[in-house]
Amino acid sequence: MSPDFISALLWAISMGLVGAVVFAAIGLVSGTDETATVAPLTLLVVLLGVPAPGVFTFFLAGVVAKHITHMIPTTLLGIPGDTMAVPMMREAQLLRELGVPHIALRKAISGGVIAAFIAVPFAVLFATLLTPAADAIGKAAPWIFLVVAAFIAYTSKGKWAAVVALVPFVLLIAGLQAFAVQNTGKSLSISFFLGIATGPLIAALFTTLSPGRKSMVRSGPREFSLAADVRTWKGRLPNPFSVLDRKQLAFTSGAAVVSSATFVFSPVAMTVLMGEVAGQRIKNGYHRLTSVIAVRNGTTESTYIAETLIPLIALGLPLSPLAAGPAAPLFNAPPVYTVNAETGETNNLHNLLSTWEFLGFGLIAVAIATLIAYPFAMTHAHRAASWVMRKVSHEAIIGAFIGLIIVISLYEGGVVALLVTVSVGLIGGLLNNAFHVHSGVQFMGFYVAILSVPQILALVG
């Protein structure tokens, strides 16, 4: 083994561990949206100069671990751990009322682990099938981004309102970019990402200072009832294969394979759909609930893995809802990773890692996340949920996030960048609240402004 390889491997393992631990902890905190947490922290890791294998395993082990521990608040407290946990709320609630929340948790996380291991090799396979078309896709990228942006907007809850809202949003970005270039001499991108990712928070903070605050007032603290967690096994921790029965294994694996191929669709939509398909084929009520929750959580893992890996391996361009969201910094994080707006040339993980490295490091990342988060969720779910609810104040989390947003903006371009982040965050957050133009649509809007708009202007002459 060459020293280079050993160094890459050490980076991959150590950063995978960091990602798994950090995001397993974040998963416990309910409502921590993936884009708002994964994108800024991954960006930080890229900017700090961590080598490509470490960046990749940090991200992948992070999302896999988060989608294991996000089931803890979802099943034991009845509040979604994050956006991807929302489609499992109903099953989790019914199983909780039946008195078996711990079974909901174990079925879901076992489904997640199995789907994650299946998704990595299948995503690599589908990516290699797509690779021959990569050149053509790369050349047509500015137009593809335009079409995909409209598609993602139309398939969001905002429908046509989201499609039309893209126009002023793209203009806003183009205008702010021109302002930034004029005043700092360089174009910005991190600040735009950060504003989009944390828009809902920024808009909410503005609302607390406005008359709209009335709608936020609560008469008392939020009440939660924390379900008991029962250990039903003796001796060694049960492995995911023994937690699920044969039918559940088959459905979970099948859903993982199918959802690995459909990398341009919304992960939430795929998660809902895969659960419905499995649910319709199972008659018994109890068996249906436990199967659907396993299949759905498995799909949260497989969509996240495939929607990141396929565009990374085959294209290098962020052409999936995930790539234009939580995984955005793996594609574009100047000055470290770049996508050239004029030529479409890339210098990011696509160029820095080979297909085999994606496969190998991907499996390492999933293994690390499983080793950290699965035993933790199986044995300490109740205590962890209780500790977070009683000790971690929401005020402290928001305060630290605001600090992080300011520091990263200042890092990219001083006060001008900070103003850009706040502007994009406020407008983007309001578009999200008022018209359901979610962050995925806005990320695509950013790429349309950077890649497609110059081409359109050139055509118009």
Partner 1 sequence: MTRLLEVWGDTVDSRHLAVSVGIGVVIPVPVFLIAEQFFTANVENPALGKSYALLAGLVGCLVAALVAGRLFKPKRVVRAQDVVDEASQRAALDAIVAESGELGDPGDLAKPIQDELHALGLYDVLLADHRRRREAAALEEQAPATGSIQETDPETPDAAYAQGHGK
DSSP 370-385: HHHHHHHHHHHHHHHH
Matching residue, tokens 């099943």:
75
Kindly indicate which of the ranges 166-174, 310-318, 370-378, 439-447 contains the residues binding partner 1, using the contact rule CB under 8 A: 439-447
Kindly indicate which of the ranges 5-13, 93-101, 337-345, 352-360 contains the residues binding partner 1, using the contact rule CB under 8 A: 93-101
x-or-dash pattern for partner 1, window 37-76, by CB under 8 A?
A: -------x--xxx---------------------------
- Output 310 or 359, the one with its CB closest to partner 1: 310
How far apart (Å, rounded) are the C-alpha atoms in residues 54 and 361?
A: 9
Kindly indicate which of the ranges 1-9, 163-171, 201-209, 309-317 contains the residues binding partner 1, using the contact rule CB under 8 A: 201-209
Half-sphere exposure at residue 150, Cβ-oriented, CA atoms within 13 angstroms: 8
Tell which positions 69-88 bind partner 1, by CB under 8 A.
83-84, 86-88
Kindly indicate which of the ranges 5-13, 63-71, 179-187, 219-227 contains the residues binding partner 1, using the contact rule CB under 8 A: 219-227
x-or-dash pattern for partner 1, window 99-128, by CB under 8 A?
A: xx--x-------------------------
Please, what is the minimum distance in Å from the beta carbon of residue 350 to partner 1?
A: 22
Please, what is the minimum distance in Å from the beta carbon of residue 438 to partner 1?
A: 5
Close Cβ partners of 292 (under 8 Å, ≥ 6 residues apart): 91, 275, 278, 279, 282
Q: What is the dihedral of CA 222, 64, 300, 265, to 10 degrees?
A: 120
Tell whether residue 403 is a contact of partner 1 (CB under 8 A): yes
Q: Which of 182, 185, 218, 236 binds partner 1 (CB under 8 A)?
A: 218
Tell which positions 272-311 bind partner 1, by CB under 8 A.
272, 276, 279, 283-289
Close Cβ partners of 355 (under 8 Å, ≥ 6 residues apart): 124, 127, 128, 313
Tell whether residue 220 is a contact of partner 1 (CB under 8 A): yes
x-or-dash pattern for partner 1, window 356-395, by CB under 8 A?
A: ------------------------------x--xxxxxxx
Please, what is the minimum distance in Å from the beta carbon of residue 284 to partner 1?
A: 4
DSSP 308-365: HHHIIIIISS--STTTTTTTHHHH-BTTTBEE-TTT--EESHHHHS-HHHHHHHHHHH
Matching residue, tokens 């905002």:
158
Tell which positions 168-197 bind partner 1, by CB under 8 A.
none
Q: What are φ and ψ of residue 354, in 5° steps?
A: -85, 170
Q: Which of 112, 267, 316, 344 binds partner 1 (CB under 8 A)?
A: 267
Tell whether residue 434 is a contact of partner 1 (CB under 8 A): no
Q: Give the other-Cβ count within 10 Å of 356's Cβ.
A: 9
Pair 163, 455: CB distance under 8 Å: no
